[in-house]
């Protein structure tokens, strides 16, 4: 079955750029929407943004100026870059699949296990 796995540094310094990759295994990245969602310790979920396999993106307005999401279909991966991070960006970052394909309003049906990123000097 399809599985998602986040990877990247667990510690990032303030003002630097957080970079994470989500690898999709057991299925193709094509045809679907792919998202990043985060959860600060002890708090709720916040949608960061999504990318369609073709490369089109949409970001949370509150993070838009700092977020870039990209896709590499040859590697079955998509990535997140969040610039100018502060302690407020410390969170568990999840990648998730948007299903079904080819519709405008899809939903998150599969999630990765998440990876904790701490912003600290």
Partner 1 sequence: QSVLTQPPSASGTPGQRVTISCSGSSSNIGSNYVYWYQQLPGTAPKLLIYRNNQRPSGVPDRFSGSKSGTSASLAISGLRSEDEADYYCAAWDDSLSGSNWVFGGGTKLTVL
Q: Which residue's entry shows tokens 């700092």?
A: 66
Which residue number, 69 or 112, has a Cβ lying nearer to partner 1?
Answer: 112
94 binds partner 1 (CB under 8 A): yes
Contact 110, 97 (CB under 8 A): yes
One of 13, 81, 107, 116 touching partner 1 (CB under 8 A)? 107
How many C-beta neighbours within 10 Å does residue 25 have? 10
88 binds partner 1 (CB under 8 A): no
Which residue number, 14 or 55, has a Cβ lying nearer to partner 1?
Answer: 55
How many C-beta neighbours within 10 Å does residue 52 have? 17
Which residue number, 10 or 74, has a Cβ lying nearer to partner 1?
Answer: 10
Structure tokens at 14: 């303030």
Quote the CA–CA distance of 9 and 116 in Å, as a whole number: 9
One of 23, 35, 79, 90 touching partner 1 (CB under 8 A)? 35
Contacts of partner 1 in 37-66 (CB under 8 A): 44-47, 50, 58, 60-61
Residue 38 phi, psi dihedral angles, 5° rounding: -130, 160
Give least dist CB 14 to partner 1, A.
Answer: 25
- Which residues of this chain interact with partner 1, rule CB under 8 A? 35, 44-47, 50, 58, 60-61, 94, 104-105, 107-109, 111-114
């Amino acid at each position: 079955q399809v599985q998602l796995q986040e990877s990247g540094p667990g510690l990032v310094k303030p003002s630097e750029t957080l970079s994470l990759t989500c690898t999709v295994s057991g299925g193709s990245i094509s045809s679907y929407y792919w998202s990043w969602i985060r959860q600060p310790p002890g708090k709720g979920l916040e949608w960061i943004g999504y990318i369609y396999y073709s490369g089109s993106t949409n970001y949370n307005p509150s993070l838009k100026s700092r977020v870039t999401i990209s896709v590499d279909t040859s590697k079955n991966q998509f990535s997140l870059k969040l610039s100018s991070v502060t302690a407020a960006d410390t969170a568990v970052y999840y990648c998730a699949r948007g299903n079904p394909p080819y519709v405008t309003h899809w939903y998150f049906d599969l999630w990765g296990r998440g990876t904790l990123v701490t912003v600290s000097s």
